[in-house]
A and B are shown apart, each in its own frame.
Chain A
Amino acid sequence: MPDAPLHLMGGRHRQSGRITFPHPGDGFDTVALPSRGTLWSYTVQRFRPKSPPYAGPEIFEPWALAYVELPGAVIVEARLVEVEFDAIRIGMALELTKVALDPAASAPVWLPAFRPATEDGQ
């Protein structure tokens, strides 16, 4: 079974048309956000966040955090994967994927993530 295409679901405010992520609930229509965009800003999380609320693995590996501009919609916060930290550049083209919060978990919690865009978008 191939995975169904990934989409982030945002909310569009019924009066103003403003799109936010995640979907805030009442008063917003559900919209599928574009799955390709460009890197708006980023940082690298170099220390393990406090638990709670962090639910990642005890053994911490730094990960990159991105704000990704999805054209015509909104800028979303997500993990940034499949790129060396030193190679990250604001403006780079990205596409949606997912990453496990704990790669070793038998039933992982998946998080939205972006990776450098492939040529054909597949």
Chain B
Amino acid sequence: MSAATNVCIIGIGIHPFGRTDGVSGLDQGAYAVRAALADAGVGWGDVQFAYGGSDAAGNPDTMVDRLGLTGVQFINVKNGCATGGSALFSAQMAIRSGEFELGLAVGFDKHPRGAFNAMPAEYNLPEWYGAAGYMVTTQFFAAKIMRYMHLHGISRRTLGLVAQKAFANGVHAPHAWRREEVALDTILDAPMVSDPFTKYMFCSPGEGGVALLLASERKARELGIRPIHLAAATMRTRPAHSFEVFAPSIDIGGGVNTATRLASAAAFEKAGIGPDEIDVAQLQDTEAGAEIMHMAENGFCADGDQEQWIAQGRTRIDGALPVNTDGGCLACGEPIGASGLRQVYENVVQLRGAGGGRQVPGTPRTAYSHVYGAPGVSAVTILHT
């Protein structure tokens, strides 16, 4: 790698997550782009290419109407929950190849209220599967953690502690949707949505936009920007015998190998560091169980260690491995196209030391992000200062 092809993040922008009535998803994306440009001190005319993703809020490339008709190369990405991660992966490849030196990854979304509403035909499933009431993502997450808790001795209280931490962290993140602490008893005693999860243990589909400006290391230095290095960006699909959302059947002995394990191993190999060298991590937490399982799937601990880790507060902001420092999906909600980029945004904030009340102490130097989604896709990034 050379200064011409090493990739850095030079600007970040976010439109607050949650519900913003009267502002389209696309405009939330454009807002984030303007913020990222201002953050880096460059103009829209300097942007050579863009990769944009949205699951449900329109074609990202139409954003040029708002930002300027410069003729910029703008490619749309659609990859389920890995949309943002895939946009970022594509953007860094464009720079790594030597083709470009400054470009954009942007993601936004605006989902209707309530649970996601997938149709069986979109997943090659028969109509009866939907009629039976099985096209419900929450069922999968609940069944996956129920099995995991049984195998590895994870208690429901630990699920509650994960949610409690998320809301406590969200208080200090201006871009978060849920910004009030919730007591552990309130979380545990709330109405059950899908056993073992109560309503406080699931994130909600929401709205938001995130933009990241990428540049070659050479370009960043030319602009006088202290770069945050993108050491690795990987995206993988599911291996054989995995257990994914909308699975009418699973192979016996299955459910152990995951897209996450593949993406994570590849990212660590590419970055040349191990999990014990990561200072802060954002792990997909669409519900409280996901964060627990993803701690192990991403190589940070062994299956079952989470019970003790969380009891000891090791994933809190002042712990050995702070996880989801802005409250993750639980506190920010999940606009699919923006979610994975929010994690990277938060990591850049942390590496810059700009986290305010949620800042990880002791000058973190490495940061990890992980996103997972249907039908078994995962994207990982590793940043370092």
Interface residues of chain A, those whose CB is within 8 Å of chain B, are 10, 18-22, 40-47, 49-50, 52-56, 63, 65, 67, 69, 72-77, 79, 85, 90, 101, 109, 111
By a CB distance below 8 angstroms, the chain A residues around B139 are 43, 45, 65
Interface residues on B, range: 35 or more
A53 cross-chain contacts in B, Cβ below 8 A: 119-120, 127, 129-131, 135
Q: Return the CB mask of B152-177 against A: 1 if under 8 Å, else 0.
A: 00000000000000000000000000
B48 at the interface (CB under 8 A from A): no
Q: For the complex, what is the distance from the CA of A77 to the CA of B128, rounded to whole Å?
A: 13
Contacts A22-B126, A74-B251, A76-B248 known; 8 new A-B pairs at CB < 8 A: A44-B192, A44-B194, A47-B115, A49-B133, A67-B143, A69-B252, A75-B251, A75-B254
Q: How far apart sit A96 and B252, CA to CA, in the bound complex (Å)?
A: 18
Within the assembled complex, what's the spacing in Å between the Cα atoms of A43 and B120? 20
What separation, in Å, do the CA atoms of A78 and B281 have in the docked complex? Answer: 36
A111–B129 alpha-carbon span in the complex (Å): 9
Report whether B144 and A45 are in contact in the complex, using a CB–CB cutoff of 8 Å.
Answer: no
- Least CB separation from B198: chain A residue: A46
10 A/B residue pairs, CB under 8 Å, sorted by A? A18-B251, A22-B248, A40-B147, A41-B150, A43-B139, A43-B143, A45-B133, A53-B129, A54-B131, A72-B252
Q: Which residue from chain A places its CB closest to the CB of B147 in the assembled complex? A: A41
B residues lining the A interface (CB < 8 Å): 114-115, 117, 119-120, 126-136, 139, 142-144, 146-147, 150, 191-196, 247-252, 254
Q: Are B143 and A73 in contact (CB under 8 A)?
A: no
| Chain A residues within an 8 Å CB radius of B136 | 45, 49
Which chain B residue has the least Cβ–Cβ distance from A88?
Answer: B195
Inter-chain CB contacts under 8 Å: number: 104
* Inter-subunit contact A21/B195 (CB<8 Å): no
Least CB separation from A11: chain B residue: B249
A42 to B139, CA, bound (A): 9
Contact at A56–B133, with CB atoms within 8 Å? yes
Q: Smallest CB–CB gap between A119 and chain B, Å?
A: 25
Distance to closest chain B CB from A120 (angstroms): 25
Instruction: Write out the residue numbers on chain A whose beta carbons fall within 8 Å of the beta carbon of B126.
Output: 22
| Chain B residue at smallest Cβ distance from A74 | B249
- With A10-B249, A46-B191 as known contacts, state yes or no: A41 contacts B131, CB within 8 Å: no
User: A41: which B residues are within 8 A, CB to CB?
Assistant: 143-144, 146-147, 150
Choose one: B117, B131, B249; the contact of A55 (CB below 8 Å).
B131
- Do B135 and A49 touch across chains, with their CB atoms under 8 A apart? yes
Q: Which residues of B contact A55 (CB under 8 A)?
A: 130-132
